[in-house]
Amino acid sequence: MRFSKLVVESFQAIQRAEVEFGPGLNVLYGPNDLGKSTLATAIRAALLVAPSSAEASSFTPWYADATPRVSLTFSDEGGHHWKVNKAFGSSGGSTGAELLHSKDGTSFALDCKARQVEEKIRALLAWGIPAPGGKTGPRGLPTSFLANVLLGAQTDVDAILGKSLAEDLDGTGKLRLTNALATLAQDPLFKKVFDAAQGEVDQCFTATGKRKRGQTSKFTEAGQHVKQLRADLDGLQRQLAESTGIEGAVNALRERRAQAQVRLGEAAAALATVRDHMVKARTRDDAGALLDTAMNALGVIDAQVARVNLLSDEVDALTARVGVREEDVSRAVAECTAAESAVHVAEQAYRIATSEDGAKDRELRRAQLGEQLAELSTRKQTAQTRKTELSGAIATRATAQSARAAAVSANAAIEQLASQLAHAKQRTQEAENDLEFTRALVAYGRWRAASAASEDGAKAAQSAAADRQEAEEKDAAATKLLGDVRTMEEELVRRREVLPTDEEAKSLAKLERDLEMAEAALGGGLSVAVRPRVGVRIQAVVDQNPSIDDNNLATQRVFEAERIVRLCVGDVVDIEITVGAADHRRGVEDLRARWSAEQVPALARAGVESVTEMLGAIATIAKETAVVVDITKQAAQLRADAKILHDRAVLHEQQAAKLAVDDGDLQERKDAIGSIDPELLQTHLESLGKSWESRANALQTQKSNEDKAAKTQLATLEQNAKVAEYHATAAEEHAGKCASAWEEALAALGPGAPVPDELLRTTDEDLLSISRREAGLASALEGLAMEATGQVESAARAVEEASIRHVAAKRAHGAAVAAADVAKADLNARIGERNLLRAQVDAMDRASAAALCAVRETELASLPDAPSVSDADIANAERKVVDATDELEIEKEELHKSEGALSKVGGAAVRDEVERVQDALNAAEQRERDLEVDADAWKLLLDTLRDVENEEGAHLGRALAGPIATKFGELTAGRYRNLRLDAKLRTESVDVATGVAAGADVLEGLSVGTRDQLATLIRVTIADQLNTVIVLDDHLVHSDPKRLAWFREVLTKTALRTQVIVFTCRPEDYLSRSELPDGAASRDLAGGAVRVLDMVRVVKRWEGQGSTPPLAAPEPQDGEAQA
């Protein structure tokens, strides 16, 4: 720490004083009671006394009612400048403290105020004085061992020799001393390790023990690397998540699409199966119907055949009966013949037996009777013939009636068939209508679809136009942006071209850092004093800054520099004085050479003055480049959007082209609808739902099948009707023929004749009458015979018997003939009926009918069994197909969208990148941990070394004792040696060089002057080690000139390294008379290494007042130390 300026106002005896200190030895001289000690007090007040404390009340000006004010400007070891302003007093707005901070020593800014000022200053000083307040806070004037050492009051020797760090209220003073004196206290090997650890810790940690996080910190670099990688990884992981999500979605959608396809296939297969079952069932039904029809037809034929067979059997039976009857007739005829022969014989016998006359008469009567019998026989034959004819006619009539009945039956069948046919025709018509309706429905649906497609096409064309227009707008916007980008890029390129590359910039920045480091390694502090013997032109450059250009410098001039001073002395010589070791300087020179060769041209080319500015320019260009990249991305996005829109327009156009329907085609489709009410079709179409086409097609197929089935049934019925018509016609024709035969028979009977039945009955009666007359005649003949003789009688009886026999025979014959005729009539009727039926059967073609039945059976047998299928089943299956189709379309659309999205993601590339960045992040984090562990290790080592050192007694006393004892020996000409200080710097003892170990008691035995000298030596040595200012207020007042001269030398040397402020009333102890300022307030000597200040000119006391306070200064309170 160094003081640079002190301003005091209204402070005890001083009205105002303003002192600017030099960096080295400052000798402030003046007579007693001028206020020198007051200034020392003011310094202590500025650094240690709170404005409102009790101690502050002693600062009150003696001769004015004013607020004491002190302002002290100082710099710390870190190069920071501070200014503390304090206005002392118990209250009021004018009192208080403030601390200002500056990096350059000229521009100060408020750092803190009030109580924080004391905290901050005590932390900066690290003198073992805790912050005010609290349990450990000092009361009264705060003090400590170091405060006494550095700002100790006049002649306060005991505060140095009798006290130590042990009395300090906190350990900061000891820590600071420990740090400062460590190099003096350590074993060389310990020091080596300690230095190594300290070096590493200094690189890694701040003074407060935190890890350095500045730009050049390796933690920062490693942390930034980790942070960058983590940010990159986060971004990549977001991309990956998006990519993975979309990939997963695509895969899931592919799977779902496959499943939907499977489900659609299953539904379609189920629908096909159901439809197949339905078709098969219907086919089986149709085949069964056809078989039934064929079987019916065959049954009709077989019934007819059975009937024919039955009739044939009846005919056979009747034929047999006719044969029996005819045999009966034959036998009757034979009997008749035999009876006639018997009659004839008997008559012959009778005629013989009777006379000629009588015989003749009887003959005549017998002839008459014979003639009558013959006539009766003729009449009987005629009657019998008529009876036969009448029976035939009656049989014909019966046949006609039967045929007519058959015709009626056939006509009834025809009517039934006609009814069925009409029904079938109706069904066929209905089926055709349904078919037509479904065709119309399909046509309507297609027309509607075409219309809708046409409308969609038109909309798509509109969308395409809109998309294309938007695409062109975006494209134009992108083109404009890209044009702007090109302009910006050209500008950036132009600006970037004059700047070095990033690597070069890094290299230059590194060079600058290296140069700074190297210069820093040179150490700091250079003082060059120029004392011209004659006036000469001096040009000086101090630390690269021109200092003076004096054409005729005649007086001494001191140049203070950190690194280098360049002097140009007239035209004679240029002098360059550089601080630091030779090898370090060479390094600096090399770096400077590189600087001149590399950086200066680069900066000139870049038109900037510093690397920072150049880096800023590069960063600015990088930022602008990023902006350009962003704009480029925007343009690319616009282009991409435009491309998407364009592609979409193309798709829309393709869709429009695909959907476009020719008007003629549309009209054709409309015409195909036919005349069916479109509203009805629309209603029906809507009821079919989305999959109307498949449903309508299925419906059309169904109606078509129904139509075919109806037509097939109609054809069968028509065929059956034709067969029935044939049968009816044949029966009617047969009936007609029979009727004709009947009519002919009636005609043959003549007009007005009774009906044949009556005639037949009459004929039968005639025949019976004839038979009776024949029997009478036969009896007459027999009577004639009885008129003859016995023989005649026997002959007559014979004749009678023969006649009876004959009559009986004839009667039997007649009955037999009648029976035969009846049988024949029955036979003929049956034959007629049979022949009619047979003709019908022959016309029926049973073989074909049977073959048709066989074919139908085969067909039916060949048809597979199928479960029963209802329309609901079909509708259900169709609905499932529709649902599956809809689902598949949805999945396809989703998949299409996801596939589109898939093309926008990173895919495997980003997956790879994530893995690599993750590896890099792991490695970077590991490196960061390694750095931290290594730094922690060094810090732990350093802390351990310190702890051990403290605890092992490698203490401060040993560190300081050596140099102090050496100097004390020099000062006392070897009389005293082996000064011992304890670990807390309490002075323990000193040995007397005579060989007698005086021990601690010797200290008590030292003279006041020697004690003062020893205390001063200790103070100066500590200040020297701490490299901080020391204020000596009228010390060494008991020293002789020789020792004073020795001390002056010591102080001058010390002042080369640290600031020494001496208040003295005896300037000659330090200066020759010629060195005093001649009428000036101050004078710098030895190139500024020594500053002499005339207090008389610096301090303004209250006008006309004495040098003592008007009132006694307040006594210190108990427990307060006096400064």
Partner 1 sequence: MTAAAEDDIVLKLLHTADWHMGRRFRSFNEKSEEKLTRARLDVLDRILLAAERYVVDAVLCAGDLFDEPCPQPEWWEQVAVRFAKRNWKNRPVFLLPGNHDPFIAESIWAKGHKFRALLPDWVHVVDREDFEFALPNNAVLYAVPCTSKAGQRDPTQAIPKRAPRDERIRIGMVHGSTFDVKDCQTNFPIAVDAALTCGLDYLAIGDTHGFRYVPPDRVHPPTIYPGAPEPTAFDEKDPGFVAVVLVDRRRRAHVTRERVARWTWEEQRVTTLAALAELDRRTDLGERVLRLCVEMKLSAPDYEIAEGLLEGLQGTDARHPKVGVLDLDRQGLELDTSNVDTFCTDLPDVLQSAVRRLKADADDPVKRPAAQRALFHLYRVSRKKAS
Inter-residue contact 122 to 102 (CB < 8 Å)? no
State how far the Cα of 204 lies from the Cα of 196, in Å rounded to an integer: 12
Q: Please, which residue, 74 or 938, has the CB nearer to partner 1? A: 938
- Find the part of the chain contacting partner 1 (CB under 8 A) among 21-29, 46-54, 89-97, 192-200: 192-200
Q: Out of 285, 516, 630, 947, which residue is the one contacting partner 1 (CB under 8 A)?
A: 947
In the complex, what is the shortest distance from the CB of residue 919 to partner 1, in angstroms, rounded to a whole number? 4
Which residue among 920, 992, 1044, 1081 contacts partner 1 (CB under 8 A)?
920
Task: Out of 132, 223, 906, 957, name the contact with partner 1 by CB under 8 A.
Answer: 906
Task: Give the chain's largest Cα–Cα span.
Answer: 252
**Contact pick of 247, 335, 732, 928 for partner 1 (by CB under 8 A):** 247
| CA 716 remoteness from chain centre | 68
CB of 1021 to partner 1, least distance (A): 24
- Shortest distance, CB of residue 230 to partner 1, whole angstroms? 12
Residue 936 binds partner 1 (CB under 8 A): yes
Residue 896 binds to partner 1 (criterion: CB under 8 A) = no
Q: Does 512 bind partner 1 (CB under 8 A)?
A: no
Chain centre distance of CA 333 = 126
Angle subtended at Cα 631 by Cα 626 and Cα 632, rounded to the nearest 5 degrees: 90
Q: Which of 954, 998, 1023, 1031 binds partner 1 (CB under 8 A)?
A: 954
Under the criterion CB under 8 A, does residue 899 sit at the interface with partner 1? yes
Site string for partner 1, 324-363 (x = CB under 8 A): ----------------------------------------
The one-character DSSP state at 975 is S
| Segment near partner 1 (CB under 8 A); pick from 114-122, 878-886, 917-925, 985-993 | 917-925
Q: Which is nearer to partner 1, 952 or 1004 (CB)?
A: 952
Which tokens is 368 given? 């008459």
951 contributes a contact to partner 1 by CB under 8 A: yes
**Which one, of 685, 673, 511, lies nearest residue 592 by Cα?**
511
Q: Between 229 and 431, whose beta carbon lies closer to partner 1?
A: 229
Q: What's the first-to-final CA gap in the chain, in angstroms?
A: 20
CA atoms within 13 A on the CB side of 715: 7
What sign results for the dihedral spanned by CA atoms 518, 520, 521, 527? positive
Residue 389 contacts residue 745 (beta carbons within 8 Å)? yes
| Distance set, CA 1062 to CA 9, 39, 505, 1035, 1076 (Å) | 21, 11, 51, 8, 15
Amino acid at site 117: V
**Pick from 310, 401, 388: which is nearest to 822 by CA?**
388
Residue nearer to partner 1 on the CB measure, 191 or 495: 191
> What secondary structure letter does DSSP report for 205?
B
Q: Using the rule CB under 8 A, which residue among 108, 595, 938, 1047 binds partner 1?
A: 938
For 832-893, give the DSSP string. Answer: HHHHHHHHHHHHH-HHHHHHHHHHHHHHHHHSPP-----HHHHHHHHHHHHHHHHHHHHHHH
Decide: residue 1055, CB within 10 A, 0-12 exposed, 13-18 middle, 19+ buried.
Answer: buried
Selected range binding partner 1 among 91-99, 141-149, 825-833, 908-916, rule: CB under 8 A: 908-916
* CB proximity list for 580: less than 8 A, separation 6 or greater: 521, 522, 523, 563, 588
- Quick one: CA torsion of 85, 89, 95, 96, rounded to 10 degrees? 60
Distances (CA, A) of 888 to 160, 261, 355, 721: 100, 6, 137, 54
Selected binder of partner 1 within 952, 1004, 1115, 1118 (CB under 8 A): 952
Kindly write down the DSSP assignment for every residue of 113-124, as one continuous string. Answer: ETHHHHHHHHHH
Does position 755 interact with partner 1 (CB under 8 A)? The reply is no
* Residues 156/148, Cβ–Cβ less than 8 Å: yes
Instruction: Name the segment binding partner 1 (CB under 8 A); options: 117-125, 429-437, 886-894, 937-945.
Output: 937-945
Pick one of 421, 553, 905, 1029: the residue that binds partner 1 (CB under 8 A): 905
**Other CB atoms within 10 A of residue 1077 CB:** 17
924 binds partner 1 (CB under 8 A): yes
Per CB under 8 A, contacts with partner 1 among 252-291 are: 254
Rounded to a whole number of angstroms, the minimum distance from the CB of residue 918 to partner 1 is 9
188 or 1104: CB nearest partner 1: 188
Stretch that binds partner 1, among 165-173, 714-722, 848-856, 895-903 (CB under 8 A): 895-903
Binding status of residue 213 toward partner 1 by CB under 8 A: no
The reply on whether position 941 binds partner 1 by CB under 8 A is yes
Q: Does 74 bind partner 1 (CB under 8 A)?
A: no
- Phi, psi values for residue 37, rounded to 5°: -65, -30
In what helix (H) or strand (E) does residue 698 lie, and over which residues does it extend?
helix 692-749
Based on CB atoms, which residue is closest to partner 1, 531 or 623? 623
Nearer to partner 1, 846 or 939 (CB): 939
Is 1038 a binding residue for partner 1 by CB under 8 A? The answer is: no
Q: Of 258, 374, 458, 940, which lies in the binding site for partner 1, with binding defined by CB under 8 A?
A: 940
Regarding 192 and contact with partner 1 (CB under 8 A), the answer is yes
Number of chain residues interacting with partner 1 (CB under 8 A) = 59
Three-state SS sequence of 1009-1033: HHHHHHHHHHHHHHHHHHCCCEEEE
Of residues 168, 653, 949, 1024, which one binds partner 1 by CB under 8 A? 949
Which is nearer to partner 1, 253 or 717 (by Cβ)?
253
Considering the rule CB under 8 A, would residue 251 count as an interface residue with partner 1? yes
Closer CB to partner 1, 6 or 229, in the complex: 229
Under the criterion CB under 8 A, does residue 621 sit at the interface with partner 1?
no
In this structure, the dihedral spanned by the alpha carbons of residues 837, 838, 844 and 845, taken in order and rounded to 10 degrees, is 160
Residues 628-657 that bind partner 1 (CB under 8 A): 632, 636, 639-640, 643
**189 near partner 1, rule: CB under 8 A:** yes
Residue 933 makes contact with partner 1 by CB under 8 A: yes
Shortest Cβ distance from residue 163 to partner 1 (Å)? 28
Nearer to partner 1, 371 or 915 (CB): 915
Q: Give the C-alpha separation, 461 to 688, whole Å.
A: 29
In the complex, what is the shortest distance from the CB of residue 119 to partner 1, in angstroms, rounded to a whole number?
Answer: 32
Q: Do the beta carbons of residue 219 and residue 204 sit within 8 Å?
A: yes
Residues at the contact surface with partner 1, assessed by CB under 8 A:
186-190, 192-193, 196-197, 200, 229, 243, 246-247, 250-251, 254, 632, 636, 639-640, 643, 899, 902-912, 916-917, 919-920, 922-924, 926, 930, 933-934, 936-941, 944-945, 947-949, 951-952, 954
